[in-house]
């Protein structure tokens, strides 16, 4: 039986997510702001969690109603048959998002919801479930838009950007969902080599290798929210996982990563190993500004340089102009994509972007820009 679901995503990734869901077989797809709603069955819910690269969460709405006071909320939540969704011995966590003039404190809404649920259990069975914010058996999501309250179960559990391969964290890592989305926006899907010249912990390279090989991004994840639901069908999940693994393909090109920092190089290698992708990715300690393109074939560059926010650079103008000079001088026949929140610094790159896309890196409004370096200058100098 099909039911409605809502997949949450980052700003600017909505179309990509809708496409992913369409390709996986979702129906009734509707694009919202930072979310896409769709329909599918339980197996599809498992598949969407396993396979969507640009989803942060997949919510399963169970009911909706109008509320005018906090008491209304308490009563309506109390009336939901929570015993169908969890055992009293289980644990719960409530998350609330609120867009309303009447209800303004999301924390308070979450607390009120939790109270109504535990009171219902206590009144019925004399015991109450405990709260566990980190690893609950049931995550509940409350969404209030003016007077409309939607109650959903969070089928993902922890955010889907937590793929499970990153055990080594570097300073200012890019979110996995953002990295995957940037690669998909660039149009790179494995058709040629790819370089991340400032690779840090290796997120862009790891996401890229999974895209190139069509590996489900959440294959290495410890757990999804739905696995602790009473109706979890482990056989169905395994079938879905097996079917997705049959679609894994070979990738005949290579992904390269540079970083000046030896610790970043070590950490990225560790993360890549965790994802079992070492055959496709090569990382070395290398200053991008002293590098040049190693092969004549076409190549993509995708990177996330320091913005001079979380990672500072000595002279941001010199740094960004070195990016432009290196690309121009040493990387002919390359399509380069770079994300930064430093709009002032971007001017010093000195190349005209052929595309600009607004995105957010965490809270930082950023631009993803494309520079196209044509073959020619090096060819000319070789003759
Ligand atoms: C924002 S971090 C990249 C984070 C990475 N995308 C991730 O997810 O972990 C920028 C990286 O650029 C590296 N870096 C700075 N200057 C560099 C240069 N000239 N050549 C190569 N890497 C450089 C820094 O050491 C840092 O690891």
Total of domains in the chain: 2
Asked, for residue 226, whether it belongs to a domain, the answer is: no
Measured CA to CA, the distance from residue 14 to residue 32 in angstroms comes to 7
Q: Is 173 in the pocket of ligand 1 (CB under 6 A)?
A: yes
What is the 199 CA–ligand 1 centroid distance (Å)?
A: 5
Asked, for residue 44, whether it belongs to a domain, the answer is: yes
In this prediction, residue 382 carries a pLDDT of: 40
**Structural domain containing residue 374:** 176-214+249-382
Asked if 182 and 79 sit in the same domain, the reply is no
Q: Is 270 in the pocket of ligand 1 (CB under 6 A)?
A: no
Closest CA to 35 of 196, 145, 162, 174: 145
Asked if 150 and 187 sit in the same domain, the reply is no
Asked if 366 and 259 sit in the same domain, the reply is yes
Asked, for residue 304, whether it belongs to a domain, the answer is: yes
Asked if 147 and 193 sit in the same domain, the reply is no
What is the 2 CA–ligand 1 centroid distance (Å)?
A: 45
At 181, which CATH number? 3.40.50.150
Q: Is 260 in the pocket of ligand 1 (CB under 6 A)?
A: yes
Is residue 130 classed as helix, strand or coil in its secondary structure?
A: strand
- pLDDT, tens digit (0-9, with 9 covering 90-100), for 26-85: 999 999 999 999 999 999 999 999 999 999 999 999 999 999 999 999 999 999 999 999
Asked, for residue 225, whether it belongs to a domain, the answer is: no
Asked, for residue 276, whether it belongs to a domain, the answer is: yes
Q: Is 323 in the pocket of ligand 1 (CB under 6 A)?
A: no
In this prediction, residue 313 carries a pLDDT of: 83
- pLDDT, tens digit (0-9, with 9 covering 90-100), for 271-305: 999 999 999 999 999 999 999 999 999 999 999 99
Asked if 115 and 190 sit in the same domain, the reply is no
Question: Of ligand 1's atoms, which has the minimum distance to the CA of residue 288?
Answer: 20
What is the 374 CA–ligand 1 centroid distance (Å)?
A: 25
Asked if 180 and 105 sit in the same domain, the reply is no
What is the 372 CA–ligand 1 centroid distance (Å)?
A: 21
Residues of the chain with pLDDT under 50: 378-383
Asked if 199 and 328 sit in the same domain, the reply is yes
Question: Of ligand 1's atoms, which has the minimum distance to the CA of residue 258?
Answer: 21
Asked if 126 and 190 sit in the same domain, the reply is no
Q: Is 174 in the pocket of ligand 1 (CB under 6 A)?
A: yes
In this prediction, residue 101 carries a pLDDT of: 87
Asked, for residue 113, whether it belongs to a domain, the answer is: yes
Asked, for residue 357, whether it belongs to a domain, the answer is: yes
Q: Is 195 in the pocket of ligand 1 (CB under 6 A)?
A: no
pTM of the shown model: 0.95
Measured CA to CA, the distance from residue 30 to residue 14 in angstroms comes to 10
Asked if 209 and 149 sit in the same domain, the reply is no
Asked if 298 and 209 sit in the same domain, the reply is yes
Q: Is 129 in the pocket of ligand 1 (CB under 6 A)?
A: no
What is the 269 CA–ligand 1 centroid distance (Å)?
A: 14
At 119, which CATH number? 3.30.2130.30
Sign of CA dihedral 184, 185, 191, 197: negative
3-class secondary structure per residue, 189-241: CCCCEEEECCCCCCHHHHHHHHHHCCCCCCCCCCCCHHHHCCCCCHHHHHHHH
Closest CA to 79 of 165, 151, 25, 1: 151
Is residue 26 classed as helix, strand or coil in its secondary structure?
A: coil
Domain boundary among 103, 122, 154: 154
Asked if 180 and 142 sit in the same domain, the reply is no
Measured CA to CA, the distance from residue 177 to residue 333 in angstroms comes to 28
Q: Is 200 in the pocket of ligand 1 (CB under 6 A)?
A: yes
Asked if 15 and 140 sit in the same domain, the reply is yes
Domain boundary among 154, 185, 203: 154
Of 171, 179, 182, 200, best ligand 1 pocket probe by most atoms within 8 Å of the beta carbon? 200
Question: Of ligand 1's atoms, which has the minimum distance to the CA of residue 201?
Answer: 9
Q: Is 306 in the pocket of ligand 1 (CB under 6 A)?
A: yes
In this prediction, residue 383 carries a pLDDT of: 35
Asked, for residue 24, whether it belongs to a domain, the answer is: yes
In this prediction, residue 378 carries a pLDDT of: 45
Residue ID of nearest Cα to ligand 1 atom 3: 200
Sheet holding 35-40, edge to edge: 27-31, 35-40, 3-8, 57-66, 148-154, 138-145, 91-99, 130-131
């Amino acid at each position: 039986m099909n039911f409605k679901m809502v997949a949450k995503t980052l700003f600017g990734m909505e179309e990509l997510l809708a496409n992913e869901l369409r390709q996986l077989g979702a129906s009734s797809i509707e694009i919202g702001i930072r979310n896409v709603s769709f329909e599918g069955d339980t197996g599809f819910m498992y598949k969407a969690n396993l396979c969507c690269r640009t989803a942060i969460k997949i919510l399963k709405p169970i009911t909706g109603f109008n509320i005018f006071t906090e008491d209304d909320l308490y009563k309506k939540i109390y009336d939901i048959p929570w015993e169908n969704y969890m055992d009293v011995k289980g644990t719960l966590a409530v998350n609330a998002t609120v867009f309303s003039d009447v209800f303004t404190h999301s924390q308070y809404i979450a607390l009120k919801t939790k109270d109504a649920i535990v009171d219902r259990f206590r009144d019925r069975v004399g015991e109450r479930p405990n709260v566990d914010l980190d690893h609950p058996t049931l995550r509940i999501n409350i969404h209030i838009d003016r007077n409309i309250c939607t109650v959903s179960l969070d089928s993902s559990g922890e955010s889907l950007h937590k793929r499970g391969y990153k055990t080594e964290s570097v300073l200012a890592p890019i979110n996995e969902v953002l990295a995957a989305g940037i690669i998909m926006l660039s149009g790179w899907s494995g058709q040629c080599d790819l370089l991340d010249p400032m690779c840090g912990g290796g997120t862009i390279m790891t996401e890229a290798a999974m895209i190139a090989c069509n590996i489900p991004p959440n294959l290495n994840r410890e757990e999804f929210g739905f696995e602790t639901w009473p109706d979890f069908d482990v056989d169905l999940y395994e079938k879905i996982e097996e079917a997705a693994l049959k679609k894994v393909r070979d990738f005949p090109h290579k992904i390269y990563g540079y970083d000046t920092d030896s610790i970043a190089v070590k950490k990225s290698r560790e993360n890549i190993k965790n994802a079992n992708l070492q055959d496709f990715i090569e990382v070395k300690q290398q200053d991008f500004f002293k590098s040049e393109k190693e092969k004549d074939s076409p190549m993509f560059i995708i990177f996330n340089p320091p913005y001079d926010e979380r990672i500072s650079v000595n002279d941001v103008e010199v740094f960004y102009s070195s990016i432009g000079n290196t690309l121009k001088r040493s990387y002919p026949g390359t399509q380069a994509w770079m994300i930064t929140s430093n709009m002032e610094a971007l001017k010093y790159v000195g190349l005209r972007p052929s595309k600009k896309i607004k995105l957010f890196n965490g809270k930082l409004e950023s631009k993803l820009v494309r520079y196209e370096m044509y073959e020619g200058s090096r060819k000319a100098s070789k003759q």
